[in-house]
Amino acid sequence: MAITPSSPPDSHANLSPAWYQYRADETLARLHSRETGLTALEAEDRLARYGRNSLPAAPRKPAWLRFLLHFNDVLIYILLAAAVVTGVMGHWVDTAVILAVAVINTLIGYLQESSAERSLQGIRAMLSSRARVMRQGRVQAIEADELVPGDIVQLRPGDKVPADLRLIAAHNLRADEAILTGESITAEKTCTPIQGERGIGDRSNMLFSGTMVSAGSAAGVVVATGQATELGRINQMMGEAKAQRTPLLQQMDRLGKGILGLILLMMAFLFLFAFILRDMPLGELLLALISLAMASVPEGLPAIISIILSLGVQAMARNHAIIRKLPTVETLGAMTVVCSDKTGTLTRNEMTVNAVILADSQWRVSGDSYAPQGEIVHETSGRPASLTQDTALSAFLTAAHLCNDSQLAQDPAGDWSITGGPTEGAMKVLAAKAGVTHATARLVDKIPFDSAYKYMATHHQLGDEHRIFLTGAPDVLFSLCECQLTDAGVVPFEREFWAREMARYARQGLRMLAAASKPATPDAAPLDHADLHQGMVFLGIAGMMDPPRPEAVDAIATCRQAGIRVKMITGDHPETAMAIGAMLGIGDGTTAITGAELETMSDEALAGAAQRYDIFARTSPAHKLRLVRALQQRGEVVGMTGDGVNDAPALKQADVGIAMGIKGTEVTQEAADMVLTDDNFATLAQAVKAGRRVYDNLRKTILFIMPTNLAQGLLIVIAILAGALIPLTPIQILWMNMATSVTLSFGLAFEPAEPDLMQRRPRDPRRHVIDLHGIWRIGFVGTLIACAAFLLEAWLQPRGYAPEFIRTVLLQMLVTAQWAYMLNCRTLQGFALNRKVFANRALWVVSGILLLLQLAILYLPFMNTLFGTVPLPPTWWGVTLLAGVGIFLIVELEKWLLGRIKKPVSPAAEPTGDRS
C-alpha cells in the first residue's frame, strides 16, 4: 500500500507518487521511519494495516474449461467413436462403460494436471523472494511479502527490487528497469532529490518493484508495497511458468501419432480383407477394429509418465535440488561436463585469514572460526604484533577493517557470526583479532565488489583525514599500484617480490586478497574507478583458507565414475585454484588456464582449451559464457553453476544452468534450470543420480507398457485374419490398459536406482527413448505374449468353451503375463528376481491391488455383467500363472542371451583429456 508523502503512514488518502521530490531524510521522516529501520512492533502493525507485499495471482482458465480441454485427445476420440458404434449396434452396457471411461480418463487427466501444477507451484514457493531489511538496527532476511512501508531495504547486484523504494544510499548503482520502462540500457541511480514532475524512467532516486539491481549497492526506504507499487498498478504479471514438455514426452507424442497412423492404415486393410474375403458381419467387424484401435494406443502411458516425472521432481526438491524447468530432469542424465564455481560450492565458504604478507614482514594468524580470538604473530620470530610498533601491519589492518561491507556480530549465546560475504568477513575478523576498531570513521562513498573487476574500494573520513582504501585480487591491484608501504615508509613497487610471495602462499591453497590505500581530498566527487588508477600504495596481502567441502570430494569422484567431467571455474589465483583442485580431485594439480589467456584465444583454440583444462582461474563471468559455448560446440552437454548477476547469460546458455540458493541472486535463479538450495556440489551429484533414475524408470515403464499393447493388437489382428473368435472386447481392453497396466506401472515408478547407475556413461540425448534394443524388446515380448494367448485360444475354441469363458481365460492370461513381465522390467539387464525385489515395496503393493482388481472382475456379478466375464475355476488360475511363469523365464533368457551377445556394459571410462 502506498502512503502519501504529506500524511502519516496510516493515511489512505490521495495516492501521490512524488517521493522522488523529497530529500532522503524528509522521506524517512514522513514515513515515520529511520535509518536503523522500523521496530518489530511497528512492522507488525503496518503489515496488519497495509497487507502483504504481494500481487494477486494471474487469472487462470476456469476449471470447467480446463476439464473440457482434456477431451481434445486422440484416445478420447477413439473412445467416443467406440461409444457411437456400440450404441448404434444396441450394446448399451458397452456404450455406457466406454463413455464412463472417457469421462473418467478426462477427469484423471484434469486432476493430474492440477496436482502437478500445485506441486510445481509448491516447489517454486520454496524459492520465494527474500529481502534484506534493517529492523531495530539489525540487518535481517525476511520474506519479501512481509515488507511494509517504512522498511529499510538493502540491495546488491542481482537482487530483484522487492517493493517501490526511495533511495537513501546508493553506490555506483545501476538498475535494469526494462520491465517497467522497456528501456534496455540500465539506469543510473543516486539519492539526489529531483525537482518537478518526472516519468518513471526519470525518477533516478527511486527503485521500483520487479526491476533488477544490475550493479552497485543501495539502501532504500519502502514507499509502496503490493498492488500500490508501480508494477501493481500496471498489473503486469511476471514469471508465469508455462507447462513444459520434456524431450522424452515429445518423442512419445511423435511416436503415438506414428502408431496411430499405422493403425488407421491397418484398420482400413483389415476392414477390406475381413469384409470382402471373410464375409464377417459388419457390426462384429467394426467392434473388432475398435478393439484393435484401443489395444494399440497405450492409454495409461501419458498419465504414468507425468506421475513419474513429478515424483522425481518432488524427491529432488526434498534433497535440496529444485528443478525450475521440467526437461532438466532428463537433461541431467545426459550431462557430460559440469563446470562448477569454487567458492561455496566446492569449498565451505568459511574463510579464515592464516597469513599476512607485508613488504618487510610476514605474519601468521591463529584461530579458525569467526570468533575474533587468535593471535597475529611474526612468522620467523614468533613475536606478537603490535599496532603501534608495526605501522605497516596497522595500515593493512585498517584497510581490511574499513574497506569492508561485512559486520561481525555475537548472539546472546556468545556465538560469533558475520553478515555479508565470507571474504570480507574474514578480513573483519582479522582486524578484530588485532583490536582495530576505528569507531569514528565515516564512509563517504564506495565501489562495491564485483567479480568482473575483482576489487572493492571505499572513501573514508578518519578524523580530519580522508583516505581511499582498496582491497581485491592481488594481481589486479599490482597493476594499480606504483608504490608499496614498508615500516620505513613508501618505496617503489616491487612486482617480482609480490608475485613470488603470492605464488608461494597460493600453492598452499590460500585465497589471496590484497589491500592498498591513498590519501583523498575531502571534497572528492563520488568515488570512481578512475580514482584508483593513480597514487595507490600497496599495503600487503592476506592469505585465507577456505577448506574444501569433504562431501564434494566424494561427489566429484562419483561424477568421474559416471562419465561426467568436473571443471572448476574460479576468480581465484591459478596456484590457489590448482592446490584446492588437487585436494578435491579436479585437475592434475599442475595445469590451469587463466581468463586472460582465454581472452586471447580464437574460438577454435578456446574449444580445445575448454576440453583440455579442468581448472580455469582468474576468470570473470564473461568467460563462463564463452566456455559453455565452446564446450557445446564440441558436442558436450554442459552443466554450469553460477551465483552472481553476471553469470545469468552463461546459465541460460548451458544445457543445465545451476544456480545457488543461498549465495545466488534472484536474477541468476530465474535464469537457471535448477537451483541447489544448499549451494553444495554434492547435491548436484545426487540430482544427476536422481535424474538418471527417473529416466531409467520412465524407459522401463515404456518398455513395460508398449509390448502389452502390441500383444493385444496382434492378437486381434491374428484372430481377424484367422477368422477366429475376437478374443477381447473393447471394454476388456480398456480394463487392461487403464486399470491393470497403470497399476503395475507404479511398481516400476518406485523402482530404486540400479547399482551401476552412476557407473554408466551419460546418455546420448539424441538417442530415442525407444532405441533399437527397445524396439526389439517391444516386438519380441509383444509377439511372445500374443502367440501364447493365441495358442491358448486355439486350444480352447475347438473344445466347445463359451466365447465369454474363452475371453475371460485370455484376459486373465494377459494380465498374468503383464504382471510377470513387470517383474522382468525391474532391471533392463540383470536377473530380475535379485535380492532388491523385496526392497521395492511398491512392487508388492501393486501386485496385491492387481489381485483384488482381478478378483473383482472375475467374481463380482455386476462386474461380470459389465465386462462380459465369467467366474473362473481355480484350475485356470494355475494354467494362466504357468503361462506367466513361462513368459517370465523366456524374457529372462532373452535378456541373458542379449547381454552375452552385446559387449558387456563397461563402467564409464575415466574422463580424461580430449574426447572429441
Q: Which residues are catalytic?
A: 341
CB 445 within 8 A of CB 521: no
- Which of residues 328, 419, 471, 812 is near ligand ATP by CB under 6 A? 471
Q: Are strands 337-341 and 565-569 parallel, antiparallel or unpaired?
A: parallel
Written as one letter, the residue type at 195 is: Q
403 Cβ contact list (under 8 Å, min separation 6): 456, 457, 458, 469, 470, 471, 515
472 binds ligand ATP (CB under 6 A): yes
Least distance (Å) between residue 423 CB and ligand ATP: 4
Beta bridge partners of 466: 461
Between residues 478 and 780, which has the closer beta carbon with respect to ligand ATP? Answer: 478
Task: Convert residues 679-718 into a mask of x (bound to ligand ATP by CB under 6 A) and - (unbound).
Answer: ----------------------------------------
Q: Compute and round to an integer the Cα radius of gyration of the chain.
A: 35
Between residues 177 and 341, which has the closer beta carbon with respect to ligand ATP? Answer: 341
- Residues in region 552-571 near ligand ATP by CB under 6 A: 570-571
867 binds ligand ATP (CB under 6 A): no
Give the cell for residue 486: 614498508
CB-based contacts of 788-795 (< 8 A; 24+ apart in sequence)? 788/813, 788/817, 788/883, 788/886, 788/887, 789/711, 789/715, 789/727, 789/813, 789/814, 789/817, 790/715, 790/718, 790/719, 790/727, 792/879, 792/883, 793/715, 793/719, 793/724, 793/725, 793/727, 794/724
Between residues 405 and 751, which has the closer beta carbon with respect to ligand ATP? Answer: 405
- Which of residues 473, 539, 658, 717 is near ligand ATP by CB under 6 A? 473
342 binds ligand ATP (CB under 6 A): yes
- Residues in region 480-509 near ligand ATP by CB under 6 A: none
Candidate segments 83-91, 237-245, 469-477, 733-741, binder of ligand ATP by CB under 6 A: 469-477
- Residues in region 43-62 near ligand ATP by CB under 6 A: none
Candidate segments 299-307, 338-346, 586-594, 869-877, binder of ligand ATP by CB under 6 A: 338-346
Least distance (Å) between residue 447 CB and ligand ATP: 10
CA pair distance 879, 849, nearest whole angstrom: 21
Give the cell for residue 748: 516400476
Least distance (Å) between residue 408 CB and ligand ATP: 15
Least distance (Å) between residue 11 CB and ligand ATP: 42
Q: How far is CA 880 from the centre of its chain?
A: 47
Give the cell for residue 420: 555479508
Apex 714 CA angle, 708 and 720, nearest 5: 140
The DSSP secondary-structure symbol of 661 reads S
Between residues 174 and 454, which has the closer beta carbon with respect to ligand ATP? Answer: 454
Beta bridge partners of 514: 472, 541
Least distance (Å) between residue 827 CB and ligand ATP: 40
Least distance (Å) between residue 640 CB and ligand ATP: 12
- Which of residues 511, 692, 700, 763 is near ligand ATP by CB under 6 A? 511
Between residues 313 and 532, which has the closer beta carbon with respect to ligand ATP? Answer: 532
- Which of residues 512, 650, 738, 814 is near ligand ATP by CB under 6 A? 512
CB 200 within 8 A of CB 212: no
Q: How far is CA 258 from the centre of its chain?
A: 33
Give the closest residue to 252 by CA, choosing from 296, 302, 299, 295: 302
CB 351 within 8 A of CB 546: yes
- Which of residues 246, 343, 594, 737 is near ligand ATP by CB under 6 A? 343
**Residue that has been written with the C-alpha cell 565515516 in this structure:** 442
Least distance (Å) between residue 648 CB and ligand ATP: 15
Least distance (Å) between residue 547 CB and ligand ATP: 14
Candidate segments 269-277, 449-457, 502-510, 807-815, binder of ligand ATP by CB under 6 A: 449-457
Least distance (Å) between residue 407 CB and ligand ATP: 14
Residue nearest to ligand ATP (CB): 571
* Count of CB atoms situated within 10 Å of the CB of 898: 14
- Which of residues 91, 320, 324, 454 is near ligand ATP by CB under 6 A? 454
CA pair distance 789, 711, nearest whole angstrom: 9
636 binds ligand ATP (CB under 6 A): no
Least distance (Å) between residue 597 CB and ligand ATP: 16
Written as one letter, the residue type at 675 is: V
Least distance (Å) between residue 356 CB and ligand ATP: 14
Between residues 27 and 347, which has the closer beta carbon with respect to ligand ATP? Answer: 347
- Which of residues 83, 213, 219, 456 is near ligand ATP by CB under 6 A? 456
Written as one letter, the residue type at 236 is: Q
Backbone angles phi, psi at 572, to 5 degrees: -75, 170
CB-based contacts of 202-208 (< 8 A; 24+ apart in sequence)? 203/20, 204/20, 205/20, 205/24, 205/166, 205/167, 205/170, 206/19, 206/20, 206/164, 206/165, 206/166, 206/167, 207/155, 207/161, 207/164, 207/165, 207/167, 207/175, 208/161, 208/164, 208/165, 208/177, 208/180
How many helices (H) and strands (E) in the chain? 30, 27
Between residues 176 and 643, which has the closer beta carbon with respect to ligand ATP? Answer: 643
- Residues in region 241-260 near ligand ATP by CB under 6 A: none
Candidate segments 407-415, 418-426, 622-630, 854-862, binder of ligand ATP by CB under 6 A: 418-426
CA pair distance 626, 650, nearest whole angstrom: 8
The residue count for binding ligand ATP (CB under 6 A) is 20
- Which of residues 20, 110, 449, 821 is near ligand ATP by CB under 6 A? 449
572 binds ligand ATP (CB under 6 A): yes
Burial class of residue 755, CB neighbours in 10 A (0-12, 13-18, 19+)? exposed
- Which of residues 421, 543, 730, 782 is near ligand ATP by CB under 6 A? 421
CB 760 within 8 A of CB 563: yes
CA pair distance 275, 292, nearest whole angstrom: 16
CA distances from 705 to 735, 750, 890 (A): 14, 16, 18
Least distance (Å) between residue 540 CB and ligand ATP: 13
Least distance (Å) between residue 450 CB and ligand ATP: 8
Between residues 164 and 341, which has the closer beta carbon with respect to ligand ATP? Answer: 341
455 binds ligand ATP (CB under 6 A): yes
CB 195 within 8 A of CB 24: no
Give the cell for residue 914: 580430449
Between residues 203 and 573, which has the closer beta carbon with respect to ligand ATP? Answer: 573
Between residues 266 and 476, which has the closer beta carbon with respect to ligand ATP? Answer: 476
Question: Quick check: helix, strand or coil at residue 832?
Answer: coil
333 binds ligand ATP (CB under 6 A): no
Run of H or E residues at 691: helix 681-722
CA dihedral (205, 209, 214, 217) positive or negative: positive
Candidate segments 56-64, 245-253, 337-345, 765-773, binder of ligand ATP by CB under 6 A: 337-345
**Residue that has been written with the C-alpha cell 617480482 in this structure:** 496
- Which of residues 151, 299, 424, 501 is near ligand ATP by CB under 6 A? 424
Between residues 660 and 739, which has the closer beta carbon with respect to ligand ATP? Answer: 660
- Which of residues 105, 451, 677, 732 is near ligand ATP by CB under 6 A? 451
Q: Which residues bind ligand ATP (CB under 6 A)?
A: 341-343, 421, 423-424, 449, 451, 454-456, 471-473, 511-513, 570-572
